[in-house]
Amino acid sequence: KPGTGALITAAIIIPYTVYGGFRSVVYTDVVQAIIMIITLIIGPIAGIIFILNHSDLYASGITEALVKAGDSYTSVTGGAGGFAAGLLIAGGFSWFFGYLGGQPQLSVRFMAIKDTRHSRKARNIGIAWTLIAYCGALMLGWIGLAI
């Protein structure tokens, strides 16, 4: 049952957060990040291997899948025009503005940086994480289209 699962999750998370404070939350974030990055690296590799071993799929590769999907699939607006396209683009920018102080859980991470040296290190780790995560997510989407 979903309610039981939520109660079990709360019974685990609340005590270690109260007991360990910010440090325990950071450790949890690290574990989640490791799981995500492993998935975003291994997932595309497994998908490419699957595509190479199965010739009966929608497409035999990512490029062919994108060509079959058509121009609207690779368009920023998904083929929408006029007001709908404006709404889609504005919706994309809403994520940008949300990150500018609209998410306190991110602001706390920035406040935890000790000095300039650590902020440079955090910047480099953040850029590397973003590149790996976004490339992996795009690859998974394209592979899903091909399959």
Domain boundaries, the chain: 2-146
pLDDT given for residue 135 in this prediction = 92
pLDDT digits (tens, 9 = 90+) for 87-125: 888 888 887 777 666 667 677 777 888 888 898 998 898
Residue bearing the bigger pLDDT, 42 or 80: 42
SS3 assignment, position 54: coil
Q: What number of other Cβ atoms are within 10 A of residue 62's Cβ?
A: 19
Q: Which amino acid is at 1?
A: K
Q: Residue 48 — pLDDT band, cuts 50, 70, 90?
A: confident
| pTM of the predicted protein model | 0.65
SS3 assignment, position 56: coil
Provide DSSP, 75-131. STTTT--HHHHHHHHHHHHHHHHHHTTS-HHHHHHHHT--SHHHHHHHHHHHHHHHH
SS3 assignment, position 25: helix
